[in-house]
Amino acid sequence: MLPSLLFKGGPMLWVLLVTSAVGLTVFIERVLHCHRAQINSAEFLNGVRTVLKRDNVVEALSICDATPGPVARLVKTAILNRDHGRERVRESLEETGLAEVPRLEEKLNLLATIAQIAPLLGLLGTVLGFIDVFRHLQPGLHTNVEDLTKGVWEALISTAAGLAVSIPSHAGYNYLVSRVNAIVLDMERAATEIVNIVTDMPGPRP
Q: How do residues 189-200 score in pLDDT, each as one tens digit?
A: 999 898 888 877
pTM: 0.82
pLDDT at res. 204: 47
C-alpha–C-alpha distance, residues 137 and 60, integer Å: 77
What pLDDT does 196 receive?
86
Sequence-ordered list of residues with C-beta below 8 angstroms from that of 24, at least 6 positions apart, any chain? none
- Residue 12 confidence (pLDDT): 87
What residues contact residue 20 under an 8 Å CB cut-off, 6+ apart? Answer: 114, 118, 164, 165, 169
* 23-81 pLDDT tens trace: 999 999 999 999 998 888 889 999 998 888 888 889 989 999 999 999 999 999 998 88
Query: What is the Cα–Cα distance from 49 to 200, expressed in whole angstroms?
Result: 10
List CB contacts of 175: < 8 A, sequence separation 6 or more: none
Contacts of 22 (CB under 8 A, 6+ apart): 110, 114
Whether 73 and 64 have beta carbons less than 8 Å apart is answered as yes
| 8 Å CB contact between 114 and 16 | no
Query: Tell me: the pLDDT tens digits for 78-125?
Result: 988 888 888 888 899 999 999 999 999 999 999 999 999 999 999 998
**In the structure, what pLDDT confidence band is assigned to residue 171 with cuts at 50, 70 and 90?**
very high
